[in-house]
DNA sequence: CGGGATCCAGAACGATACTG
DNA sequence: CAGTATCGTTCTGGATCCCG
């Protein structure tokens, strides 16, 4: 039943660029979006505060990711016309709603990663023979 | 509580390359892994059959993705020494176990994508002003 | 049949400098 | 403060040819 979604799009000839899974995963798959969403899940945050809290992200990437998330309606961008300007980012209801399925994936990753790491080491040892 | 995993890794100084979420999402985020897992969830499959069923994937990418999934222990690679050789790929228990959290994400994507698409269109219209 | 090796295009990403 | 602009790098994925 998991595959049905994809096959339905396949059969419909809608093109895979329009497939919901493809679109969602393209966003989640990039390097920073999830980090940003997770930070904003704790509390709304200003640009520079986010920049400090998300480790090693460049201003450029923070800007681009925030724009994409805002475009998708996952993040709300609020500008306060102070001087100098301050901008606060927060999760929309849509943004918060993804925390649920995301939580399941995070839990899976946590539980299974030791196993995965072990598999990789074993695989790489065989490869070295 | 979702962020805790990441912050724990942050605090532990383990380096983000060792973070379970990063590792799992790097795999799921690439263009084909999920497709392949979903196909194999239906039934075990040989290389050329997979190549036909996963739309538009190149042999190169199919090979690379299958190797990564095999390395992680998500996929089992079985070689039958026939002539010409035949190789069957199937999901391991680990590979099947990710179908559960993945299902949650797929459901979310299906339910929310129309909303996301609408948000994008609206955003792009404002941008054009 | 099931790949491996090589080359190449484009996208993602990073560093730095600059701006209202 | 909150970005933009530009450049260079790295990484992903596709095309093609080759191999046992």
Share of chain A above pLDDT 70, in %: 84
Using CA atoms, how far apart are residues A114 and B91, in angstroms rounded to an integer? 18
Q: A-B interface: how many C-beta pairs under 8 angstroms?
A: 162
Q: What is residue B12's predicted lDDT score, i.e. its pLDDT?
A: 60
pLDDT tens, B69-104? 999 999 999 999 988 899 999 999 999 999 999 999
The distance (Å) linking the CA of B60 with the C1' of D19 is: 15
To the nearest whole Å, the CA of A103 is away from the closest chain B CA by 6
DSSP readout, B71-84?
HHTSEEEEEE--SS
Does the CB of A18 sit below 7 A from strand D?
A: no
pLDDT tens, A89-109? 999 999 999 999 999 998 999
Tokens 């990663």, residue located: A113
Q: What totals of helices (H) and strands (E) does chain B contain, helices first?
A: 7, 3
* B109 pLDDT above the threshold of 80: yes
To the nearest whole Å, the CA of B82 is away from the closest chain A CA by 23
CB distance from B15 to chain A under 8 Å?
Answer: no
- A71–B123: do the CB atoms touch at under 8 Å? yes
Asked whether the beta carbons of A105 and B105 are under 8 A apart, the reply is yes
């Amino acid at each position: 039943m998991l595959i049905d979604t994809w096959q339905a799009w396949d059969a419909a000839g809608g093109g895979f660029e329009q497939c919901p899974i493809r679109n969602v995963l393209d966003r989640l798959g990039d390097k920073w979006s999830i980090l940003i969403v997770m930070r904003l899940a704790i509390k709304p945050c200003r640009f520079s505060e986010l920049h400090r809290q998300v480790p090693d992200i460049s201003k450029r990437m923070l800007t681009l990711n925030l724009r994409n998330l805002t475009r998708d309606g996952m993040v709300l961008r609020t500008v306060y016309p102070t001087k100098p300007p301050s901008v606060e980012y927060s999760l929309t209801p849509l943004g918060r709603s993804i925390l649920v399925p995301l939580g399941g994936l995070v839990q899976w990753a946590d539980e299974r990663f030791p196993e995965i790491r072990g598999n990789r080491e074993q695989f790489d040892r065989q490869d070295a023979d």
